[in-house]
Amino acid sequence: MKKVLYGLLLSSGPLFSQGIQNGHLSGNFQSNSQLYYEDANLGITSENLPSEKFLINSFANLLYTTSNFSAGMRYEANHNVLLGFDKRYNGEGITYRYTQFNKDGLDITLGNFYEQFGSGMILRAYEERNLGYDNAFDGIRLKYSPFKGLYLKSLIGKQRLYFDKAEGIVRGFDGEISLNESFESLSDIKTQVMIGGSFVSKFQKDLDPIFILPENVASWASRFSIYHGKWMVGAEYVYKYNDPSATNNFIYKEGQALLANLSYSKKGFGLSLAAKRIDNMSFNSDRNLSGQEVSINFLPALTKQHTYALATIYPYGTIANGEMGLQADLNYKIKKGSLLGGKYGVGILANFSNAYSIHKSPINEDTAIGASGTLGYTSDFFKVGDDKYFQEFSLEISKKINRKLKLIGTYLNTHYNSNFIVGYGNYGMIKAGIWVLETQYKLKPKHSIRTELQHLKTAQHEGNWAMGLIEYTVSPHYFLAIQNLYNYGNKINKTHYPNISAGYTKNTTRFALGYGKQRQGIFCVGGVCREVPKSNGFSLSITSSF
Amino acid sequence: MKKTLISILFILANTFCFAQTKNTTLPSVSIKSIEGKTINTDSFENQGNPIVISFWATWCKPCAKELNAISEVYDDWQEETGVKVIAVSIDDSRNAAKVAPFANGKDWPFEIYIDANSDLKRALNVNAIPHTFLLNANKEIVWQHTSYLDGDEEELYEEILKL
């Protein structure tokens, strides 16, 4: 059978291509490699120093596109996978391939695809290659727009699990309508209204020796957004029927999630407010996996995403079993020529966010909260729980002094509850204050120097940190950066993390060579930001696209 | 597996022989406007003048630097070349609601879109942001560049002037 298929494919090649000529082939390539040296402080000791010494993650995508047809594939080769990635990524193969065609408004995808319904809290398949995250579907997706403003999507498939697929079958449907686009009588009014709804269900056989588990787990979501001039208000609510899993300790409680946003913005001023409540909303393609690798949904962390090295030491991650939180974000530009603004104006960014546990009460006197095989607990929707998970305030002020010099000052105050947030274990509430001063100086056209001075002060966990960075760039091709993080407040181990990196960019091809120690986190030098795993030694990163 | 690879390559090779060799045009992908409307990239229009598409995100500092730098000289660029800049944010739902306030707060005069599912990013083979494309009058991609270093906007402008 395989041979017949193979023959057919080969013989149909020329025929097939005639029907889809005038197409374009494009693609990209990325390779990150690392030569490792032992480093006890980073947890790279002789016991787990990779015997290969040299590890590499690489992939390439090829896409073929015509006006109404596209096909693509990705080949991955990890020999062996970099430290910090799951070992199940060791190996090579075609991990993504699809064909898609569009006829009379019907858009059909066969094979692998990424998808998001609404905000993603009910369904989101996505990739973050540099973090080793990829939960792409393998299946069929249809998209159809029967008339302007109405968009329907349906899909069925299994999710990627490393070089394999997760057990569960996911089925989903989503509809969204823009009232103003769909009804002519509304097309001219200032208020824009959008409503949408989704239904997602998962099937997984019940082989549990103790519990009778639901083999089909259904969930639904509804959402709206209203835009009126400078205002926007929107919300999404998700409900999931009982779904006992390793993450929720096999309780039979339903799950709920609510995310609401309000924003106002005009020239030089932007304010956004967000609130969320998440209760038992882990939704996995395999109920027995407690990790994130085959999540059907995506629960966004409503906190600011930082890029300064010391500000990324205590990041928040959503607690899927239950949390409530708020965020306020302000972006303001003090006008040029005003008393405070000076000649060039002043930029101000302020952010406040927090996250608390949800209130939980036992279902009856004899049952502990969250006991396996029970309904778990009851929860008052509007009542905040006793535990504070996270809180952060940040303020960033940027000021252009003259044509050559720009200063950016940042202050962060973080409360990070390590007993609950996945990351560091039980250090209790870690309270940290972080100061950053960044300067950007133009030496001459196309030559610039950028420096960062950072300090983190905390009495808990690993104590104080200091950091310095100097980066020299020559547009459009070269950069050289030297940095050092110093954990001088650490009582056990005062560690330096020196790192030197240099790079060359030509159009879409970029080489970056690094040497030194690297903490895990977002690494922003040489004009790009990317997630990097911890390492010690030489690194080489090559990216290209055409 | 090997056979699948060979057949796919064979088809691609075959197809390639028949395909005309011209610049890649902008792929047709649906993204969202900051008013939440679904917009197809086919509708990107600048009356025969060049279009710049720049990928960014609210958390990406080099991206903001690039867009700030272009913003400062945008009036002059438009006057001389009629160029239009389209800034496509790849922020996911963690930050998507902040995109409009962020862009407005920075006072950026660009058309802003959100590619929350990274569909356009994938279709254009973007590895990392910032990544900038230059499109000619026929909406063909004539130049692209990854990363932003201080002064890179001058190279972009030289490319725009060549059109």
Whether B144 shows a pLDDT value over 70: the answer reads yes
pLDDT-derived band at A421 (thresholds 50, 70, 90) equals: confident
Question: Does an H or E element contain A293, and which?
Answer: none
Task: Tell me what pLDDT residue A14 has.
Answer: 44
Beta bridge partners of A486: A466, A496
pLDDT-derived band at B5 (thresholds 50, 70, 90) equals: low
Q: Is B123 helix (H, G, I), strand (E, B) or coil?
A: helix
> pTM score, two decimals?
0.90
Over range B31-39, report the average pLDDT.
90
Could you report the per-residue pLDDT of A336-393, keeping only the tens digit for each?
Answer: 888 888 888 899 999 999 999 999 999 999 889 999 999 999 999 999 999 999 999 9
Do residues A98 and A107 make contact, with C-beta atoms less than 8 angstroms apart? no
In a domain, B4, yes or no: no
d(Cα B31, Cα B111) in Å, to the nearest integer? 13
Task: Tell me what pLDDT residue A16 has.
Answer: 47
A323 Cα to chain B: minimum distance (Å): 15
Task: Tell me what pLDDT residue A35 has.
Answer: 92
Q: Which of B14, B134, B146 to mutate to test the interface with A (most CBs of A within 10 A)?
A: B146
Contacts of B54 in chain A (CB under 8 A): none
Residue B54 sits in a domain of what CATH number?
3.40.30.10
Before B130, cis peptide (omega within 30)? yes
* Strand residues in B73-140 grouped as ranges (E): 84-89, 111-114, 131-135
pLDDT-derived band at A38 (thresholds 50, 70, 90) equals: confident
In a domain, B6, yes or no: no
Whether A15 shows a pLDDT value over 50: the answer reads no
Per-position DSSP letters for A100-157, written without gaps between them:
EEEETTEEEEEEEE-EEETTTTSEEE-EEGGGTEE--EEEEEEEE-SSTTEEEEEEEE
d(Cα A529, Cα A521) in Å, to the nearest integer? 10
How many residues appear in chain A?
A: 546
Task: Tell me what pLDDT residue A527 has.
Answer: 52
Instruction: Please check whether residue B131 touches A, CB under 8 A.
Output: yes
Residue of B nearest to A408 (CA): B61
Whether A266 shows a pLDDT value over 60: the answer reads yes
Whether A96 shows a pLDDT value over 70: the answer reads yes
User: Which is it for strands A478-486 and A69-78: parallel, antiparallel or unpaired?
Assistant: unpaired
How many other CB atoms sit within 10 Å of the CB of residue A288?
13
Q: Is B132 helix (H, G, I), strand (E, B) or coil?
A: strand
Over range A21-26, report the average pLDDT.
82
d(Cα A218, Cα A329) in Å, to the nearest integer? 34
**B94 against B21, higher pLDDT:** B94
In a domain, B118, yes or no: yes
In a domain, B5, yes or no: no
Task: Tell me what pLDDT residue A12 has.
Answer: 44
Task: Tell me what pLDDT residue B1 has.
Answer: 53
In a domain, B3, yes or no: no
Please give the ipTM for the structure prediction: 0.90
Task: Tell me what pLDDT residue B2 has.
Answer: 57
pLDDT-derived band at A23 (thresholds 50, 70, 90) equals: confident
Over range A38-56, report the average pLDDT.
79
* Domains identified in chain B, total number: 1
Task: Tell me what pLDDT residue B25 has.
Answer: 86
Contact at CB, B8 and A347, closer than 8 angstroms: no
In a domain, B11, yes or no: no
How confident is the prediction for chain B on average, in pLDDT? Answer: 87
Contact at CB, A261 and B154, closer than 8 angstroms: no
State the amino acid at position B151 in one-letter form: G
Considering CB atoms only, which of B24, B35, B102 is closest to A26?
A: B24
Whether A139 shows a pLDDT value over 60: the answer reads yes
How confident is the prediction for chain A on average, in pLDDT? Answer: 90
Task: Tell me what pLDDT residue A422 has.
Answer: 77
How many other CB atoms sit within 10 Å of the CB of residue A187?
12
Number of H helices, E strands in chain A: 2, 31
Q: Which of B125, B131, B142 to mutate to test the interface with A (most CBs of A within 10 A)?
A: B125
d(Cα B156, Cα B50) in Å, to the nearest integer? 12
Which residues are CB-contacts of B136 (< 8 A; sequence separation ≥ 6)?
A: B23, B50, B142, B163
pLDDT-derived band at A17 (thresholds 50, 70, 90) equals: very low
What does the block give as tokens for A264?
Answer: 């106002």
Whether A192 shows a pLDDT value over 50: the answer reads yes
Instruction: Find, among A26, A18, A78, A28, the residue nearest to A54 by Cα.
Output: A78
Among the ranges given (A24-28, A81-85, A501-505, B123-127), the one the predictor scored with the smallest mean pLDDT: A81-85
Whether A8 shows a pLDDT value over 50: the answer reads no
Contact at CB, A26 and B62, closer than 8 angstroms: no
Task: Tell me what pLDDT residue A10 has.
Answer: 46
Q: Which of B9, B63, B147, B153 to mutate to test the interface with A (most CBs of A within 10 A)?
A: B147
Task: Tell me what pLDDT residue A154 has.
Answer: 98
Over range A22-35, report the average pLDDT.
91
pLDDT-derived band at B52 (thresholds 50, 70, 90) equals: very high
B68 Cα to chain A: minimum distance (Å): 11
Among the ranges given (A102-106, A365-369, A423-427), the one the predictor scored with the smallest mean pLDDT: A423-427
**A146 against A12, higher pLDDT:** A146
Contact at CB, B93 and A259, closer than 8 angstroms: yes
Say which DSSP state A81 is in: P
Task: Tell me what pLDDT residue B11 has.
Answer: 54
In a domain, B143, yes or no: yes
Could you report the per-residue pLDDT of A441-496, keeping only the tens digit for each?
Answer: 999 989 999 999 999 999 999 999 999 999 999 999 999 999 999 999 999 888 89
Contact at CB, B149 and A331, closer than 8 angstroms: no
**CB environment B23-62: b (16+ within 10 A), e (fewer):** ebbbbbbbbbebebbbbebeebebeebbbbbbbbbbbbbb
Could you report the per-residue pLDDT of A85-95, keeping only the tens digit for each?
Answer: 889 999 999 99
Do residues A239 and A217 make contact, with C-beta atoms less than 8 angstroms apart? no
Could you report the per-residue pLDDT of A144-171, keeping only the tens digit for each?
Answer: 999 989 999 999 999 999 999 999 999 9
**CB environment B99-120: b (16+ within 10 A), e (fewer):** bbbbbbbbbbebbbbbbbbbbb
Contacts of A15 in chain B (CB under 8 A): none
What phi-psi label fits residue A132: left (phi over 0), alpha (psi between -120 and 50 degrees) or beta? left
| Domain residue limits at B130 | 23-162
Do residues B146 and A528 make contact, with C-beta atoms less than 8 angstroms apart? yes
In a domain, B129, yes or no: yes
Contact at CB, B1 and A510, closer than 8 angstroms: no
Residue of B nearest to A121 (CA): B93
Whether A188 shows a pLDDT value over 50: the answer reads yes
Share of chain B above pLDDT 90, in %: 70
